[in-house]
A = this chain, B = another copy of it.
Amino acid sequence: MLKPLGDRVLVEVIEETEQKTAGGLFVPDTAKQKSQRGKVIAVGSGKTLDNGTKVPVEVSVGDTVHFAKYGGTEVTLAGKEYSLFAERDLLAIEN
């Protein structure tokens, strides 16, 4: 498995088939960035502030998180793909 470094978070991206709008296929009508969903698999130990204290990451293993669609770095583990994000690139948790 992977232990993320610093404030990074390992995420298994969820396929987007259920992400369509109610009316059917998605029709882009704005210039805004889209988000994507994933499940948190592992989290780093946190970010070190300029005063030396460490701030733990705000998400936990098992959380379903949203992030900007083209963020993160892809990593392949045992033939399966994951993405590694800096915590600031995660936008929200489903609850």
Interface residues on A, range: 35 or more
CB <8 Å contact, A3 and B92: yes
* Residue ID in chain B nearest A22 by CB atoms: B79
CA A50 to CA B48, docked complex, whole Å: 9
Question: In the assembled complex, which residues on chain B have CB atoms less than 8 Å from the CB atom of A75?
Answer: 34-35, 66, 91-92
Question: In the assembled complex, which residues on chain B have CB atoms less than 8 Å from the CB atom of A20?
Answer: 76, 79
CB <8 Å contact, A48 and B55: yes
Chain A interface residues (CB < 8 Å from chain B): 1-6, 8, 10, 19-22, 26, 30-35, 42, 44-45, 48-53, 55, 58-59, 65-66, 68, 70-76, 79-81, 83-84, 87-88, 90-95
